[in-house]
Structure 1
Amino acid sequence: MGKWNIYTKKGMIALLTAFLLISLQGPAPSYAAELNSEVPKVVEKTSPSVVAIIGKPSKDSNKTMEKNRFNLAHGTGVIVESNGVIVTNAHVVKDMKNIVVVTSNGTTYNGHATNMDEESDLALVKIDATGLSPATLASSSDIKVGETVAAIGTPISFALRNSVTVGIVSGLDRSVSSQYQLIQTDAAINPGNSGGALINMKGEVIGINTMKYAEIGVENLGFAIPIDTVKYVLKHFQLYGKVKRPYLGLELEESWEAVVGLPSSTGLRVAYVDPDSPAAGAGIQQDDVFVSIGTTNVKTLVDYNEAIKHYLPGDKVDIKIQSGSSAATKSVTLGEVQQRETKWTEDAEGSYLDADRGKTKIGDSHLGWSMKYPAGLVKGRQSDDGDSVNFIDAKGEFSLSITVDSKQSDELSPSALLSRLASDEEDEYSDQSSATILERQYVKREGQPFAKIVSRSGDKGYVQTRGYLYKGKLYKVQLFVTKEHYNNDFKQNSYNDLLDSFKLSFDTKDESLRDISVYSSGNTTYTNEYGLSFALPSNWQQGGYTGSSSFFNDDYSQAIHVRVTSASSGDTLTAWADRQTKQFEAQYAPKYRTMDEPVELTLAGVPAMKLGYSNTLGKKWNAGYSLFFIKDKYKYEIGVSYPKDDKGTELDELEKALTSSIKVDKDRMDQELGFIQDLDELADPDRVVPFKNEKYKYALQIPENWTSMKSYDNKDQANKTFVFTGGDLSISADSKTSFDNAIKDEDAAQKKSHTNDKEYVYSDSEVTLFQNVKAKKYDISYATAKIPYKETIYIFNQNQITYTVSLRIDEAVRTEVNEARLTKAFESFTFLK
């Protein structure tokens, strides 16, 4: 904590003493005086070229979370053309919409991003303006380590725009998290400085601030994009609208020395060569070592990127490589890196930075309430159906919540209503043992009476709760105020005014009233990382337990599951759907399944197939269909399931909404997606794995795709069950119960089951297992069970251990293949010594 001493009384005394000692030592060096006069001049010269950029984040969020007027992002930019062309960092505007640019003199302009290059972290923003002051750009070759520089930007808060920090150039040719070289500086660079100017003492821009290194114990470590890289990107933006990068088609690997920052005598090793690429065509192979590109030696990836940026796609370049013990020069005609197109969108709520501009009231049109909407009120979390919403004050002085209980009787007396509010408050503040009720009354306000309770919540603050009964609903409005603000009379008046503005009505014609209702009778569109999007009714929701690829209606009776895998070489839509059909038919016996004829259709602009089916394990039938299509090297399967009895208009509308809205946007795919193997293509249902129980001295071969049910991860437990769809193999080992007693117990259990239900049928017999092991066998059939099944139980003894093995299979899945697989697993049973 010593480094913070200057903020203590003792630290301030020490600081003042040190300052006086310095003063007594004589005047400051002349260069310091010169610097003090020089910095204001260059800042004054350059500041008109630096602008602040603010906008709204465009990342998708939960519909119940607020995109409010205070939810903003900001950064900095540098004017490079007098007609309103501004350069900034790509990361500043990548996820920003409704951009507003503020110049140094306070003039505000609407702006939009026109070009972006994430590799260099540079972008252009355009505003409709003329006569601006473009910055003077230096040359990277003139930058010297140790020279004085100043950073101009918008750190931390938009209110701090055009802040200036001063330092020196700490280093050149740095390569921290960048494809290109960076300038290191100790001039303070903080969040919001991104995109701002790093200037020399001539008032020239030598770099665009891009990042700082932030960690406890690390200070004054910032980085800027050198001005020559900025000029390179600006030129490409001007000529091509994007940065045209050469493509070789290989992956390069640095030496260990280069990775840790040591000088490296080794070039870049070729880790991979893409077939049919320019590099492959030139004969460059894996494990070759790059020595130079043109006349530039390359030993790091930054060396490589700095060298290759001097060429354009289509250029020929000589690449010197070391292949084993021999050197060679390869002439390569460069291809072009394909980049994702950047799409810019404006907020659906309009182009204003403040989405709530002109809104002075807020409410819920579906639940029928409204109130005043002060500028500092921020909407927080809202429940899925809108019956609960909370607000906070932007300054942190108070919070407000509104809940609506739609199942409350209008017949509650004032006394009962007050008791209900008090009970709710006790539940909410049950941990506040010192909570004290300060006021409790029923206010007979004309047209809108309410119950009111004011209480002090320990040392935290004060709570006022109001309850309104109206048309079968209980509206509860609760205000919490911090202790330091509650006793301020002026503040009290403003809080009561806000509460008094609450009304049990919503005027749909009032344009100043913002509607926060989440109720919708329409559809909601979902998009996943594979670029797939589709619309579902608004009452559907993403599954919380099975992942974001599952969706359910409000009572979970209907479901949609999405599966995306890569299309293997040579795979076709017909072959894929045929595999799924055979897999389904192999799983269920004919009596317990139906399969519709495949239907060809078009989804996402490509051929698709629909396979309808139904199946049951007993009395209740499930139905559904799967939609299959292949696009952009990926296979998309959307499975819809529901109770068979649900067929009707609702499901027809669901299918229509789903199939008409399915789209695949390649630009919205996660750029890090690779090959995703379809496990069904590799799965072998007959493949077995060994299982051993050393304690109870047995082993057997179990199908790999069966699931082992276990309470613990202990293979040597007495009871073990292996489960497959519609059946299981269960083994119980007992070293304390004799063979005869086990049979007596099982005989009694079987007789009791038959006595209780004559439809439960069994027979028993004596058999010999595993060549010479005496056993008792029970064959059980229960055709009228909710899920009809057959079961075979074997009881036998070996090595003074009594084994009870059950083979159970539901009639619905009792196919020849499944039954043979179950029998084979049991017959693999062997005893260990």
Structure 2
Amino acid sequence: MGNWNVFKKKGFAALLAAFMIVTWQGPAPASAAEVNAEIPKVIEKTTPSVVAIIGKPSYDADKALEKNRFNLAHGTGVIVASDGVIVTNAHVVKDMKNIVVVTSDGTTYNGHATNVDEESDLALVKIEATGLSPATFASSSDIHVGETVAAIGTPISFALRNSVTVGIVSGLDRSVSSQYQLIQTDAAINPGNSGGALINMKGEVIGINTMKYADFGVENLGFAIPVDTVQYVLKHFQLYGKVKRPYLGLELEESWEAVVGLPSSTGLRVAYVDPDSPAAAAGIEQDDLVVSIGPSKVKTLVDYNEAIKKYLPDEKVDVSIQSGGSVVTKSVTLGEALHTETKWTQQADGEDLDADRGKTKIGDSHFGWSMKYPAGLVKGRQSEDGDSVNFADAKGEFSLSIQVETESDELSPPALLAKLTGGGEDEYDYDDYGTPSTILERQYVKRGEAPFAKIVGRSGDDGYIQTRGYLHEGKLYTVQLFVSKDAYNNNFKQNSFNDLLDSFKLAFNAKDESLRDISVYSDENTTYTNEYGLSFDLPSTWQRAGYTGGSTFFSDDCSQMLQVEVTSASSGDTLAAWVQREREQFEAQYVPEYRKVEKPEELTLAGVPALKVAFAASLGNKWKAGYSLFFMKDKYKYEVQLNYPQEEADADLQELLQTLVSTIDVDKNSMDPELGFIQDLDELMDPDRTVTYKNAKYKYALQIPEIWTSSKSYDNKDQARQSFLFTGGYMTIDADNQASYEEAVKDADDEQKKSQENDSEYRYTGSETTILGGLKAKKYEINYVTSKIPYQETVYIFNQNQITYTATLRMDEAVSTEANEARLAKAFASFRLLEASK
């Protein structure tokens, strides 16, 4: 709950963005540190304690990348126990599968992550080994600015494991993008050094390398987690299996000085207090300043985290608070911070780094094709349904694409050749990628049961393209190979390229164990995850509505809709109170006979209590029904609403609802780290609050309820017609500076009479009246049913300042509540004329 360690440095966003986890970092300048005679002896003593770690990354966003045998992640680790316990960075192994550890002597072990703590960026990896050389840790009091240090790790490439760079300790107690203090060093730390050792000249580990700063013109600015934090985390791993962090229940903000890196003169402002938290029980309130935790002064979030880590849950701590002009000390019994457990699973392909070991062919079972699978072939981008896929050579000599589209088998050979080239001329010059600028060869090849059209051409000055087109069972399979100029002119390589193309077959043998299936086509459910960590499953036929920011989803026929809304929970709010407000708001929109709301049903969603509310409403024709699922978790309120036509309330709908209920989850690790407080606008909205609308050209003004929406007439740029809309009704003001009052009334009389003549159900009355403080007006009152929707309409025609106004007030019977009628009447009564500008 209490997010005490989340902090947004808004003014320094661009600066902090440059601090990157080193496994992701690009090349950096080499260290210029002087090497002395003692360093080789120190490295020889320490390097057996440093290991290289490699594995397959796991990205939920692109499962295709997981299958890429060349898509590997690597980092470094430090042995802390002779039986194979290794400390590394959390970011190295958090999303890593099929972990392999290589010791300094080249021995390889399969490993698995046993503990991960993302807040400290530390983790443990275990391998089955004995007799290893554990590292020796220095005392934190023995670390000094200016002393010579060396970084040992696996930079850039796994082939460079146990590389050494040398520098000095550039600074201590640094706070950059970390929860705790860091050591700054100018020893070169490059991608892959993450999790490696920073050692002193006694061969002792003083820190675990974690990040570097990379920017143009910036050299040798790296950071390591100091030994005291490492030992703190390792001790908790040993005793509890996790880091047991105390919980106050505060969200804190730093001062401006602290944000920009200046010494701060104030404490940390309390931005939020979690209800029922230890801090709330102790009487700490929003806008108080936290001055100290126990004996430790705190002026930054890093200060706070360093101070609070000295305590365990259930211990008491004195918290000094500045409230108003005085400082008071409050005794707080600490709770325990809850964190999502990280789970690790091996890939279904097994524990090998190369998930494609033994696979010599590749293909798509759904689209029915296969071909050879050379070791250097890397699968790249693949379409959502798998009808197109790209491959590349690991050495960059060629790329290959396969595309499947619907096409008639009756297409003749010349027509197929023309389709592949875009016409039939000898030379083409297209801008599209993959289209030859000059045709060198074009022919229809009659080869066995799979004849194909073949086009070979130059691709500008870059290389050559060969395109082959196969027609088969109503589909066109286009295979296109791009070859670099140097590779194309090598006869040996050209033969291998042709061999690869010749291996393409319009068949897929599911029993062939050497054939890898890359089909991604599925008619099963699709899992969606948003930036608030919320995930759920929907049928694969549903579509996300991009124009609403991904918060709305539609079924294939658009009859059913799912809407997701996430807002922050205000202090003291409860699930029951929130649902009651939503219910009252819904009931206020419709009269009772046009709405239905069931009693909330208790259930569990994402591991927390939730409420399900069934509802339905109609304007008089079709009933629209739905279910709203409400729950609160980690300071946020989640509402998932499923809407559907009431007549579709069948077994399939219940199955869809059950899928939602069983798959809804919230993963805190999937939340956007920059999320802050998101106000629920319904909590602030006053349905009777009005805003002023002025029409300067037609000289009138109105007070319009803020919850209504306005719609300018697109047919009249001068806004002679202005409409104000609400659910089930509207008010429209038409202004005409050409027609007289008498002409407008005559036209309205004729129109009303004609409507009644055309439909005997159409009823209206017309009368003379005075309005708005004495203005003469013609009034029409209409009652009618259109498309089975009954409504009442009142029309006023009046003239002032040579302008004739027609005001139309319409409301469907379904929404004719006292409140709605009062708002509509009040809005019209607010009509006032503006004085002509002089």
| TM-score, structure 1 as length reference | 0.84
Letter aligned with residue 513 of structure 1: L
- Once residues 661 and 328 of structure 2 are traced to their aligned partners in structure 1, the CA distance between those partners, rounded to angstroms, is 57
1:613 lines up with 2:612 in the alignment: no
Secondary structure of 1:507 counterpart: coil
Which range moves more in the overlay, 178-187 or 333-342? 333-342
CA contact (8 A) 1:291 1:322 kept: no
* Unaligned runs of at least 5 residues, structure 2: 1-32
1:802 lines up with 2:804 in the alignment: yes
CA contact (8 A) 1:693 1:715 kept: no
Q: Which structure 2 residues correspond to residues 770-809 of structure 1 after superposition, within 5 A?
A: 770-778=772-780, 783-784=785-786, 791-809=793-811
- Once residues 604 and 318 of structure 2 are traced to their aligned partners in structure 1, the CA distance between those partners, rounded to angstroms, is 47
Letter aligned with residue 212 of structure 1: K
CA contact (8 A) 1:791 1:809 kept: yes
CA contact (8 A) 1:267 1:300 kept: no
- Map of 1:140 onto structure 2: 140
- Map of 1:414 onto structure 2: 413
Q: 1:791 to 1:415 in 2, by over 3 A?
A: farther
Deviation at 1:216, TM superposition (A): 2.0
- Map of 1:485 onto structure 2: 487
Q: Which structure 2 residues correspond to residues 5-154 of structure 1 after superposition, within 5 A?
A: 35-62=35-62, 67-154=67-154
Q: Which structure 2 residues correspond to residues 284-299 of structure 1 after superposition, within 5 A?
A: 287=288, 290=291, 293-294=294-295
Secondary structure of 2:553 counterpart: strand
Which range moves more in the overlay, 737-746 or 157-166? 737-746
- Map of 2:519 onto structure 1: 517
- What are the Cα deviations for residues 339-369 of structure 1, in whole angstroms up to 9, with x where unaligned? 4433333334433323333322222212211
Q: 1:178 to 1:745 in 2, by over 3 A?
A: same
Letter aligned with residue 161 of structure 1: R
Q: 1:601 to 1:237 in 2, by over 3 A?
A: closer
- What are the Cα deviations for residues 178-207 of structure 1, in whole angstroms up to 9, with x where unaligned? 343322211111222111111223322222
- Map of 2:701 onto structure 1: 699
- What are the Cα deviations for residues 104-160 of structure 1, in whole angstroms up to 9, with x where unaligned? 222222222222233322221111111222222222322332222221112222232
- Map of 1:12 onto structure 2: none
- What are the Cα deviations for residues 219-262 of structure 1, in whole angstroms up to 9, with x where unaligned? 12112222233223222322232333445555666666555555
Q: 1:558 to 1:488 in 2, by over 3 A?
A: farther
- Once residues 567 and 273 of structure 1 are traced to their aligned partners in structure 2, the CA distance between those partners, rounded to angstroms, is 11
CA contact (8 A) 2:257 2:263 kept: yes
Secondary structure of 1:824 counterpart: helix
- Once residues 323 and 569 of structure 2 are traced to their aligned partners in structure 1, the CA distance between those partners, rounded to angstroms, is 36
Secondary structure of 1:545 counterpart: helix
Q: 1:66 to 1:137 in 2, by over 3 A?
A: closer
Deviation at 1:337, TM superposition (A): 4.0
- What are the Cα deviations for residues 674-713 of structure 1, in whole angstroms up to 9, with x where unaligned? 775554455443332222233432111212111112379x
Q: Which structure 2 residues correspond to residues 346-361 of structure 1 after superposition, within 5 A?
A: 346-361=346-361
- Give the paired residue count: 794
1:234 lines up with 2:234 in the alignment: yes
- What are the Cα deviations for residues 546-574 of structure 1, in whole angstroms up to 9, with x where unaligned? 23332222232322223345667887777
1:729 lines up with 2:728 in the alignment: no
Q: 1:422 to 1:776 in 2, by over 3 A?
A: farther
- Map of 1:825 onto structure 2: 827
Which range moves more in the overlay, 651-660 or 564-573? 564-573
Deviation at 1:443, TM superposition (A): 0.8
| TM-score, structure 2 as length reference | 0.83
- Map of 1:218 onto structure 2: 218
- Once residues 432 and 270 of structure 1 are traced to their aligned partners in structure 2, the CA distance between those partners, rounded to angstroms, is 58
CA contact (8 A) 1:268 1:301 kept: no
Secondary structure of 1:75 counterpart: strand
Q: 1:164 to 1:810 in 2, by over 3 A?
A: same
Q: 1:225 to 1:326 in 2, by over 3 A?
A: same
Letter aligned with residue 193 of structure 1: N
Deviation at 1:448, TM superposition (A): 0.8
- What are the Cα deviations for residues 385-444 of structure 1, in whole angstroms up to 9, with x where unaligned? 3222222333333332222223x2222222222222222897974699982222111111
CA contact (8 A) 2:429 2:436 kept: no
Deviation at 1:760, TM superposition (A): 7.1
- Once residues 383 and 602 of structure 1 are traced to their aligned partners in structure 2, the CA distance between those partners, rounded to angstroms, is 38
CA contact (8 A) 1:250 1:270 kept: no
Letter aligned with residue 94 of structure 2: K
- Once residues 220 and 574 of structure 1 are traced to their aligned partners in structure 2, the CA distance between those partners, rounded to angstroms, is 55
- Once residues 557 and 118 of structure 1 are traced to their aligned partners in structure 2, the CA distance between those partners, rounded to angstroms, is 43
Q: 1:433 to 1:827 in 2, by over 3 A?
A: same
CA contact (8 A) 2:293 2:308 kept: no
- Once residues 575 and 799 of structure 2 are traced to their aligned partners in structure 1, the CA distance between those partners, rounded to angstroms, is 53
- Once residues 280 and 640 of structure 1 are traced to their aligned partners in structure 2, the CA distance between those partners, rounded to angstroms, is 36
Deviation at 1:535, TM superposition (A): 2.9
CA contact (8 A) 2:626 2:644 kept: no
Letter aligned with residue 102 of structure 1: V
- Map of 1:166 onto structure 2: 166
Deviation at 1:383, TM superposition (A): 2.7
- Map of 2:267 onto structure 1: 268
- Map of 2:369 onto structure 1: 369
CA contact (8 A) 2:616 2:646 kept: no
- Once residues 282 and 584 of structure 2 are traced to their aligned partners in structure 1, the CA distance between those partners, rounded to angstroms, is 47
- Map of 2:453 onto structure 1: 451
Q: 1:519 to 1:271 in 2, by over 3 A?
A: closer
- Once residues 574 and 308 of structure 1 are traced to their aligned partners in structure 2, the CA distance between those partners, rounded to angstroms, is 34
CA contact (8 A) 1:273 1:280 kept: no
Which range moves more in the overlay, 312-321 or 465-474? 312-321
- Once residues 699 and 454 of structure 2 are traced to their aligned partners in structure 1, the CA distance between those partners, rounded to angstroms, is 73
- Once residues 210 and 249 of structure 2 are traced to their aligned partners in structure 1, the CA distance between those partners, rounded to angstroms, is 29
- Map of 1:628 onto structure 2: 629
Q: 1:240 to 1:785 in 2, by over 3 A?
A: closer
Which range moves more in the overlay, 716-725 or 602-611? 602-611
CA contact (8 A) 1:254 1:300 kept: yes
- Once residues 613 and 305 of structure 2 are traced to their aligned partners in structure 1, the CA distance between those partners, rounded to angstroms, is 48
- Once residues 261 and 590 of structure 2 are traced to their aligned partners in structure 1, the CA distance between those partners, rounded to angstroms, is 62
CA contact (8 A) 2:376 2:394 kept: yes
1:500 lines up with 2:502 in the alignment: yes
- Once residues 656 and 321 of structure 1 are traced to their aligned partners in structure 2, the CA distance between those partners, rounded to angstroms, is 49
- Once residues 195 and 315 of structure 2 are traced to their aligned partners in structure 1, the CA distance between those partners, rounded to angstroms, is 32
Letter aligned with residue 494 of structure 1: S
Q: 1:433 to 1:82 in 2, by over 3 A?
A: closer
Q: 1:455 to 1:45 in 2, by over 3 A?
A: same
2:547 to 545, 548, 552: 545
CA contact (8 A) 1:42 1:201 kept: yes
CA contact (8 A) 1:173 1:183 kept: yes
CA contact (8 A) 2:579 2:630 kept: no
* Unaligned runs of at least 5 residues, structure 1: 1-30
Q: 1:480 to 1:741 in 2, by over 3 A?
A: farther
- Once residues 612 and 224 of structure 1 are traced to their aligned partners in structure 2, the CA distance between those partners, rounded to angstroms, is 56
CA contact (8 A) 1:174 1:184 kept: yes
CA contact (8 A) 2:340 2:667 kept: no
Q: 1:634 to 1:258 in 2, by over 3 A?
A: closer
Which range moves more in the overlay, 186-195 or 89-98? 89-98
- Once residues 46 and 821 of structure 1 are traced to their aligned partners in structure 2, the CA distance between those partners, rounded to angstroms, is 79
Secondary structure of 1:563 counterpart: strand
Deviation at 1:786, TM superposition (A): 8.1
Deviation at 1:283, TM superposition (A): 7.9
- Once residues 138 and 233 of structure 1 are traced to their aligned partners in structure 2, the CA distance between those partners, rounded to angstroms, is 16
Letter aligned with residue 410 of structure 2: E
- Once residues 738 and 803 of structure 1 are traced to their aligned partners in structure 2, the CA distance between those partners, rounded to angstroms, is 10
- Once residues 744 and 486 of structure 2 are traced to their aligned partners in structure 1, the CA distance between those partners, rounded to angstroms, is 75
- What are the Cα deviations for residues 4-32 of structure 1, in whole angstroms up to 9, with x where unaligned? xxxxxxxxxxxxxxxxxxxxxxxxxxx97
